[in-house]
Amino acid sequence: NAGVTQTPKFQVLKTGQSMTLQCAQDMNHEYMSWYRQDPGMGLRLIHYSVGAGITDQGEVPNGYNVSRSTTEDFPLRLLSAAPSQTSVYFCASRQGGASGELFFGEGSRLTVL
């Protein structure tokens, strides 16, 4: 199993551009989520999904959209990038039910100029 795969690993955008960060998992996990991590801070939850067709907002959802059309994929869209969205983004997944173990991707480092 590849686990949780994120692409791209690095991206530079100009203010106002749009892009999509891809996340795929091959563990048939029900739950998927996106976090952002800024220097000196912990991870903050952006959006999450508990199954295909179901998404909800986390702590810092503004400026980001998500969709979950399949169990495997959970893309994060930036419609109009802003410098405040410069960050490292992590995708994570876990099984449904009682287990709390999250599996994380390796991260996507985004710079908005």
Residues that bind another protein (CB under 8 A): 4, 31, 33, 35, 40-45, 48, 50, 54, 56, 58-59, 88, 90, 92, 94, 97-98, 100-107
Pairing status of strand 54-57 against strand 43-51: antiparallel
Closer residue to another protein in complex, CB, 17/95: 95
- Contacts of 37-45 with CB under 8 Å at 24 or more apart are 37/87, 37/88, 37/89, 37/90, 37/107, 38/87, 38/88, 43/90
Query: At closest approach, how far in Å is the CB of 95 from another protein?
Result: 10
Contact 87, 36 (CB under 8 A): yes
Query: At closest approach, how far in Å is the CB of 77 from another protein?
Result: 21
Closer residue to another protein in complex, CB, 36/112: 36
Query: At closest approach, how far in Å is the CB of 81 from another protein?
Result: 22
Closer residue to another protein in complex, CB, 33/85: 33
C-alpha to C-alpha distance for 69 and 83, rounded to whole angstroms? 29
